[in-house]
Chains A and B, each alone.
Chain A
Amino acid sequence: MISALVSVIFQIIIILALSPLLSGIIKKTKAFFQIRKGPSIFQPYYDVAKLLRKDSVISQNVSWIFHAAPIISFAAVMTAGLLIPIFITRLPLGFAGDLIAVVYLFALARFFTALASLDAGSSFGGMGGSREMFVAAMVEPALMLSIFAVALNVGSTNLSYISQTVSGLGIDALSPYQILAFVALFIIAIAETGRIPVDNPSTHLELTMIHEAMILEYSGKQLAIVELGAMVKQLLVFSLLANIFFPWGIASREAGIVTIVLALVVYIIKIFMIGIAMAVVETSTAKWRLFRLPDLLSISLMFSFLALVSFIIVKGG
């Protein structure tokens, strides 16, 4: 019981501590490719800390939804964080949900953020909310097919089970269907974390933004919670990629302290690698027009489709 509580709290702390750093590293990498100096990798921490101390200016049109949405969204994302194995497959709360539940918890967070976007009565919020739900709907079928491909391959939708099994397979886990599913999920991760070419996290042009438009009316402490929630979600999406497809090095349930520390280091390296890869993608592509996005996500759908079909053909069931 005590050890379960300790590991839950430890997981929360690791997630909260790492997610701003990941954002900082992505920003720094982008700055490097754009031949800029860029802000320090610790800048997101300073931003959140500053916002947490500031006053909030609240629109006079809003209702309780506007106040509740950041908290519920943050809580939904953090709950998802407790269902995803980060660097150790021991998850005391892992019984509460599987991969599908994680996807739907992200959807719950998105639902409330989108509602809040409509609450202030400005057109920008509505635009953001509408586009966010649009992108989410395009992502969903490909996401579910890749989840199916992974789950069928491993034999479960339970995340620690997936990590443990794939990790145990060693290099054999790099099957064609697994790789195809990874490509599909990588494209989905771009959309889910709101990165170029789907969305531009650093844009301040109202007409092109998606996520930023939704949270335009937030300021001060609430903005801090929203921003932190977005960073945590980003970390979790990358963790899903890392621990579903290359979980090697993840500590098993009964691992000793040395293995755990080693697993943590390996995990941090993996996450940062994905972050840097994401930054490379971001700097090497331009943002796509909203109505070209179905093309991109169709590519992802095709990959997940191929993953599933090749799995069925190879394994035969």
Chain B
Amino acid sequence: MLSYLFLGVIAAYLIGSVSALILNKKDRSCTYASFLSASIASILGIVFSFSVLSGKNFEFTAASDLPLTYGLFVDKLSAFFILVISITAFAVSIYSIGYVREYYGKKNIGYLGFLYNIFILSMILVVSANNVVMFLIVWELMSIISYLLVLFEHENKEARKAGFIYIVMTHIGTGFIILSLMILAGSSGSFNFNTFNAAAAALSPGLKDAVFIFALIGFGTKAGIVPLHIWLPYAHPAAPSNVSALMSGVMIKTAIFMLIRVFYDFLGADVAWWGMLVLILASVSALLGVLYALMEHDMKRLLAYHSVENIGIILIGVGVSMIFMASGHPTLAAFGLIAGLYHTINHAVFKSLLFMGAGSLVYATHTKNIEDYGGLIKKMPWTALFFLIGSISICALPPFNGFVSEWLIFQAQLSSIYLSDNITKMLILFSGAGLALTSALAAACFVKAFGVSFLALPRSEHARHSKEAPVPMLIGMGILSLMCIVLGVLPFYFIRIFDSISSPLVGVSVSSMINSDLSMATISAFPATISTAAIAVLVFVVIPLPVIMYLLLKRTPEPKYETWGCGQPISTGRNEYTATAFSKPFRMWFAGLFRPRREIQTTYSDSSFFKGGVRFESQIEPIFEKYLYDPIIWVVVNVSRFMRIIQTGYLQTYLLYILITLVISLIYVGSGG
């Protein structure tokens, strides 16, 4: 039964991709064929993952005489990630039916539909591969397909640059992944993942550390951990918005999946400094991600930086959990991991929602610059509502889903009191202060993003002539908005699922310690409860009701009048506070990090008493690119220049190289090496 379901998932995505190619001359039918089959496939994926989550693991190995077999292995962890991918893919596929109209007549929809389906399929295979070779093949497939999607609007110079940075970074990452997995495979003598746990146990501590570090760098590149994140704010915004939603929402989660798999399943997470390193990197990523997001005025880049932030938050949960794991507190480790997993699905849901919202804005206004939006809530009321829900969720405000996972992380951090080492304890608690700062900055960022884009008056002609997005796009966003609320107010239901995922990894189940109102009273002596459902009812129903009733009953005239502008009428968007101005205090506060540079030029007309115009330019310095990557690039370029001597360009020379290599190899083998 399960294998048929999985086959159905694969078949539906393949049908979607092939039919897209066949119908590529007819934009409309191609759209429906490819994206409807993608949504059917994702429904099958949801059913499949739920049946694994509530039942047995799914395993499939192809019979083969070769040492390299392909096979699938879906345990609860994989099933959870398939669920995350499928839920997001379902909403995004429906959204895409409307969104790709943007490209009708301009771009080949068949090509997009083909890549889109294969992309989702490759992500599902990444989380269900059962051996190194199969995994590397589908991982590479995912990277290359997403590279092609980043290049979909290749007529843009920016997209080409983004694609280049992405493909370079992702291959550096893959290199480290191969190193890490090959050490394990070398120890076990098999490529199969299920032998890796025993293999890791047999490794020397040094090699185990190497496996950990290589996996962290390799998968960290894909996840976007600072300082390996630099590709992310280029690549995610360059792709079409529906693909950005998938890349930021779920593709980077496949790296989280593998990190959890390697750290817990393969390595057993039993070294204390691993968790501390993950925690430090995660806190730095979260903080720097949100700080750069605050400075960003390209809507999609802003969201991409928030992905860096949220990957950080997820890994704070994982890092705390790893520390507990290594110090012999599996129960507490379970709480940390549950918090991390909870934030994983939350981020997938609200980030995809926000990217779809950004896509609607781009669709309606043809610009990504938030300084050119303004007043869109009146033109696009539904998009605005959905974007608002996404914003509240990502800012971790109650009663929405982001709050629940951050609350769980705070509680896991408080549990560090049970650790014996004071330094570790303080590290965890300070990461809590960092997380608090991160979420306050995120709130500031989304007041800026939502307020400047949607409220007050239009700031450009584009915004003035915008109109609401097509219905399929709204349905796609609506589904995920609903998910934000459901994940927010029914945490006890989801926590049970996450517990069933984490218990095989950490070795204990904590389901008996969670009450239905999300209290964890029995976790040693640490009683604390929240009930987001009660908060939701109080904040949105019980208390507003009498207030609204009073306002309606005592209704008095509400004359409309101009906004006060010191005597000058405010009739255009020119008087409004801009996003740049809004983020100014933060730019000043973190001037050491941003190194802001601004230039003001005043031009005068006629005489020096009449200003003709003022040109203002404000920039921040990309420190990672300037101080970390530029030197590396410099070294690489210079070494390459040296290497060019042997690259003559004559075929004969290359044949000679091959011959020499062959002879040397034969001598080596012949001498019994």
Contacts and interface: CB of A to CB of B under 8 A. Distances in A.
B577 A118 contact: yes
Interface stretch (A19-27, A142-150, A258-266): A142-150
Interface stretch (B13-21, B219-227, B312-320, B427-435): B427-435
A62 B505 CA distance: 52
B627 interface: no
A317 B558 contact: no
Contacts of A125: 577
B383 to A, nearest CB: 13
A4 interface: no
B540 A75 contact: yes
A143 B447 CA distance: 21
Contacts of A46: none
Contacts of B435: 144
B27 interface: no
Given A104-B398, A317-B418, A122 B543 contact: no
Interface stretch (A242-250, A279-287, A306-314): A306-314
A65 B447 contact: no
Contact of B432 (A60, A121, A144, A158): A144
A298 to B, nearest CB: 11
Contacts of B448: 130
Contact of B417 (A95, A134, A152, A220): A152
Contact of A291 (B425, B437, B519, B588): B588
A199 to B, nearest CB: 13
A118 B451 contact: yes
A101 B535 contact: yes
Interface string A88-127: 0000011111101100110110110011011111111111
B560 A121 contact: no
Interface in B442-480: 443-444, 446-448, 450-452, 454-457
Contact of B531 (A59, A72, A95, A316): A95
Contact of A140 (B392, B437, B452): B437
Contacts of A74: 543-544, 547
B586 A60 contact: no
A241 interface: no
Interface in A68-99: 71-72, 74-76, 78-79, 82, 93-98
A212 interface: no
Interface string B602-624: 00000000000000000000000
Interface string A54-69: 1111111111110000
Given A100-B407, A121-B573, 14 more contacts: A59-B561, A71-B544, A71-B547, A75-B538, A97-B398, A100-B410, A111-B446, A123-B576, A137-B443, A144-B410, A145-B430, A148-B432, A152-B429, A312-B425
Interface of B: 375, 377-378, 384, 392, 395-398, 403, 407, 410-411, 413-414, 417-420, 422, 425-426, 429-430, 432-437, 439-441, 443-444, 446-448, 450-452, 454-457, 517, 519, 525-531, 534-535, 538-540, 543-544, 547-548, 550-551, 554, 556-566, 570, 573, 575-578, 581-586, 588-589
Interface of A: 52-65, 71-72, 74-76, 78-79, 82, 93-98, 100-101, 104-105, 107-108, 110-111, 114-115, 117-127, 129-131, 133-134, 136-145, 148, 151-152, 155-158, 161, 206, 216-217, 220-221, 225, 290-291, 294, 308-309, 312-313, 316-317
